[in-house]
Chain A
Amino acid sequence: LAKTTQPISMDSYEGQEVNITCSHNNIATNDYITWYQQFPSQGPRFIIQGYKTKVTNEVASLFIPADRKSSTLSLPRVSLSDTAVYYCLVVTSGGYNKLIFGAGTRLAVHP
């Protein structure tokens, strides 16, 4: 499973766009990039998943360059409620269901 590297923490202000970049240099052909969000004392929540180029849903966008060695989670116009830990994971298509979590990025949104 590819190892991921992301910033330990980030700060932002309400209304700003936040971009969290994740590095996954050893990603394999059948690997997907997945992001989860976790609030204190709750389980992680799936945000978005992608394979290449750009994926957008109602809460975030995920940008993946052609070499797929990194990805960027984009949160538009964050609010205080977006303060959480964000995890970037690489999951393997067809692989056994096992998620390897890193330390994640602790995002703090300020008024």
Chain B
Amino acid sequence: AQKVTQAQTEISVVEKEDVTLDCVYETRDTTYYLFWYKQPPSGELVFLIRRNSFDEQNEISGRYSWNFQKSTSSFNFTITASQVVDSAVYFCALSELTSGSRLTFGEGTQLTVNP
């Protein structure tokens, strides 16, 4: 069965610090997709990134970067030079080819960036 674990419940940093959010997943499928979503205080879920299981290349988008390592079943998310507007709950999610497109979410990490 698929499972996503975000062991960090809450993280608090000071603005301009770098912060890494951890995500560990479990799946028996060889084809799967990993996602990160952001939930700001307003409540909506905002899509950030999707990776497939065959592409382990790290990705950078502005201050955001993602490190996908199949060997450790991890898909970690780093925010460089954090800003107050980054304060939100961040969710890692998994979908498996054999389980359809349902997303299995981790518990979420509450990130607070203090000025």
A and B bound? no
Which residues of chain A have a CB within 8 Å of any CB of chain B?
none
Which residues of chain B have a CB within 8 Å of any CB of chain A?
none
